[in-house]
Amino acid sequence: MADLVIAVGPYIHPCCYEVSAGFYQQLLDQPGGDRVARHRQRLFLSRSGPVSDPLKAAARGSDNLWFDLRAFAEAIFAEAGVAPASVEWLGSCTYCTPQSLGSYRRRTHFPAPKSFQYSWIMREA
């Protein structure tokens, strides 16, 4: 694991990743659900009031939660023994960055052409 380097992103951030209250239970019912239960406070956030930034997702439901995908991945990596220094996080939220990143979720809220993001891995000799 010492040579392992992980790059993550771009991805949707918790500012825009609204999920239904039932999503928590769905994750609990999946393999690794115990991890979700242990980290619930980190993974699921509540948000009240209007959103001041027009690029951020507005709440669609009053009892919905905001999911922290990065915290979820960090919990998985930590349990697998991956050192935090071995993970590089790309900072942009796919939802909040319409000028350069595509977002399926944003397209469900605002009509836009479908776009793609490509990633690749290369091993240097």
Question: DSSP secondary structure string, 2-45?
Answer: TT--EEE-SB--TTT-EE-HHHHHHHHTSTTHHHHHHTHHHHEE
Positions in the chain short of pLDDT 50: none
pTM of the shown model: 0.81
Full residue range of the structural domain in which residue 70 is found: 6-109
Tell me if 118 is assigned to some domain: no
Tell me if 93 is assigned to some domain: yes
Indicate which CATH number applies to the domain containing 28.
Answer: 3.60.140.10
- The per-residue pLDDT for 99 is 84
- The per-residue pLDDT for 48 is 63
Tell me if 125 is assigned to some domain: no
How many separate domains does the chain show?
A: 1
CB half-sphere exposure, 13, CA atoms < 13 A: 14
- The per-residue pLDDT for 105 is 87
- The per-residue pLDDT for 51 is 62
Tell me if 119 is assigned to some domain: no
pLDDT in tens, 78-99: 999 999 999 999 889 999 888 8
Tell me if 28 is assigned to some domain: yes
